[in-house]
A and B are shown apart, each in its own frame.
Chain A
């Protein structure tokens, strides 16, 4: 019974962690202030 509880705990923590990470996602960021280029840049 104890082993079953331990296994269930491990599984629940894994699910909670993955669901939390994916729900948080990543911040959208901002539109770059740099322009669409109309000159040939010298280097990247």
Chain B
């Protein structure tokens, strides 16, 4: 009986010990992925920024500019891209909608971002599902919006949708943010000539009509992200951005005019909800990368020890394994 029990315990010990590395290095990379149908939004605000009044073409200080950013997973598109890419893909249709202090639209930039659901590496489909920014086909060679699971303490390539360029975003250290250990990343995009948004805040003004005047748009930004490294999700973001119109006849003899200059920060209620969301998602990732692998390993060691102990006891001299039961001999009188 003891020998049978020790064999069962041995089988369980091997099962648990094998589950430990299998869970961490086989199951986790395949199970951890961004859901294709995710929907998320964030609100960022710039207090007392400088904003261009397109009516008078004068820059002025305003009380607030708000950026409403929505990410929406397009499941049908991701299924189509997966057929050609041969891997799990996420297609995010996003919109950055910028609202002035009067509640009217200042600018809007729609994007389509296609990436590997597991690694967050960009995917480059062609045709109908191609990645775009403001209607233009683009090629992202870096991450955007989200870092990979198990983010490393290193620089990453990050895509800037305004400038349509990929540049390094530098790891600047580990911090604590609202009780979470986070990696702080910073990217500086130097002054660059960038396209005008297709949708302008004043009717009658189009990118083409501005281009005809010889006026060009220039942009620089310092982008800051606080990234929770287990999930790779940014829990907070800031951007110090400057936009200018330069040259041409539109500016009435002026060399340059500020379109927008401000420090954009995530709104407090969205910080709290993002931190809460990331904290709950973090538990699932830690379960697969740490709790379960270590738990299985410890259980495997304990079960093996128990199995060996039972086996040793069953072989101890003077303590024979359960004696075979003998049928009593019939007694004859």
A residues with a Cβ closer than 8 A to B are 2-3, 6-11, 13-15, 17-18, 21-22, 25-26, 28-32, 34-41, 43-44
Contacts and interface: CB of A to CB of B under 8 A. Distances in A.
A9 B11 CA distance: 6
Contacts of A36: 70, 72, 93-95, 97, 110
B99 A40 contact: yes
Interface string B1-32: 00100011011111110110011001100110
A10 B75 contact: no
Contacts, number: 114
Contacts of A32: 37-39, 72-73
Given A32-B73, A36-B94, A3 B68 contact: no
Given A29-B35, A40-B43, A41-B41, A6 B18 contact: no
Contact of A11 (B18, B74, B97, B108): B18
A38 B108 CA distance: 9
B296 to A, nearest CB: 9
Given A6-B10, A14-B22, A32-B39, 12 more contacts: A3-B10, A6-B7, A10-B12, A14-B16, A15-B18, A17-B19, A18-B19, A25-B31, A26-B31, A31-B37, A38-B97, A38-B108
Given A36-B95, A36-B110, A11 B15 contact: yes
* Interface-central residue, B39, B66, B105, by most chain A CB under 10 Å: B39
B265 interface: no
Interface string B239-257: 0000000000000000000
Nearest to B91: A31
Contacts of A10: 10-16, 18
B68 A15 contact: no
B108 to A, nearest CB: 7
A7 B37 contact: no
Contacts of A9: 11, 14
A41 B43 contact: yes
Contacts of B258: none
Given A7-B11, A14-B15, A28 B79 contact: yes
Given A3-B10, A10-B10, A40-B66, A15 B75 contact: no
A2 B11 CA distance: 10
A8 B11 CA distance: 7
Given A21-B31, A26-B35, A37 B70 contact: yes
Given A9-B11, A10-B13, A18-B27, A44 B270 contact: yes
Interface in B73-121: 73-76, 78-79, 93-95, 97, 99, 103, 105, 108, 110
Contact of B269 (A8, A26, A37, A44): A44
B273 interface: yes
A37 to B, nearest CB: 5
B233 interface: no
Contacts of B103: 40
B98 to A, nearest CB: 10
Contacts of B33: 26
Nearest to B15: A10
Contact of B14 (A2, A6, A21, A35): A6
Contacts of A44: 41, 269-270, 272-274
